[in-house]
Amino acid sequence: MEKLLFIISTILLISCQHEYETFVVSNTYMASTISYSATVSYQTTKKAKRNNIVVLRIPGDTGRSCLRIIGWPGDKIEIVNGNIYINNVIYTLPRSANSVYGVYRRDSDFSRLSDFNFKPYAGKYGMISANQNEVDEIKEKGLVDSMYRLQDKSADVDKLIIRTQTATHFNSYYFGPIYIPKIGDTLYQEDHMLVRGYADFKKPYIVVAAACYFCIGDSADAMDSRIFGLVPESEILGVVTNIKNVRVMNIDESK
């Protein structure tokens, strides 16, 4: 009997070990929820839910990444002025997600922002990538005279709009039809990735296809579904259960 219990316990232990996996994150797509070089644990058998952080393979990358599922099969996804709408309702980012803000100081002294992801812009103006907790801290300490959230991802806005010349060319600021390159045109990384056919951008919105998800990063400059389109269910490896940055974070803390 004891031998039988030992065998059963061993089988269960091996089974549980296979159910959970860990890896070290090599990008900043989920910063500041998941930092670069963080150790992430994920459950391979857990069924994903909306807003879960999942481990997946993204187009053009053979490694593992983490993104947040926000769009489910059948959902209508639209992006207007950088804001994501799901079924005509604006999506509110979690407090741990980074957004880009314009900041202003009358005296041009931004030295107290050195601990934040800050970039001077011109004279009294600058830009900062920060999560909601950091924004609250900046406001409470009076580190700037004013700040406002920009509608998209830092310099990517200028780069994409200048490059495309029109809002109807696909980019992550305006969800428009995919650009069909002409002979002699320069193809950019996102153009190459879209050729894989993960999404249909013939309309100014998409409807998430069956067995696919719309996933975004918490970082302001993440490579995510706004760039490469939908993620097939087959590319999702599991649901994140634990994050080890400087300290261990239970996944519920990031919501």
pTM: 0.67
Q: What average pLDDT score do residues 104-130 get? A: 86
DSSP at 234: G
pLDDT band at 138 (very low <50, low <70, confident <90, very high): very high
Q: Where are the beta strands (DSSP E) in 16-157?
A: 20-24, 39-43, 53-56, 65-71, 76-80, 83-86, 89-90, 99-104, 117-122, 125-130, 146-149
Q: And the tokens for 81? A: 């002025």
The one-letter amino acid at 69:
I
Residue 21 has pLDDT above 60, yes or no: yes
Q: What average pLDDT score do residues 132-155 get? A: 80
Residue 85 has pLDDT above 70, yes or no: yes
Residues contacting residue 32 through CB under 8 Å, at least 6 positions apart: 96, 98, 131, 134, 218, 219
Residue 180 has pLDDT above 70, yes or no: no
Q: What average pLDDT score do residues 5-18 get? A: 49
42-56, 93-107, 240-254: the lowest-pLDDT one: 240-254
Predicted pLDDT at 70: 95
Q: And the tokens for 111? A: 């030295």
pLDDT band at 182 (very low <50, low <70, confident <90, very high): low
159: left (phi over 0), alpha (psi -120 to 50) or beta: alpha
69 or 247, higher pLDDT: 69
Distance CA 90, CA 77 (A): 10
Q: Which of 28-32, 51-55, 58-62, 193-197 has the highest mean pLDDT?
A: 51-55
Residue 191 has pLDDT above 70, yes or no: no
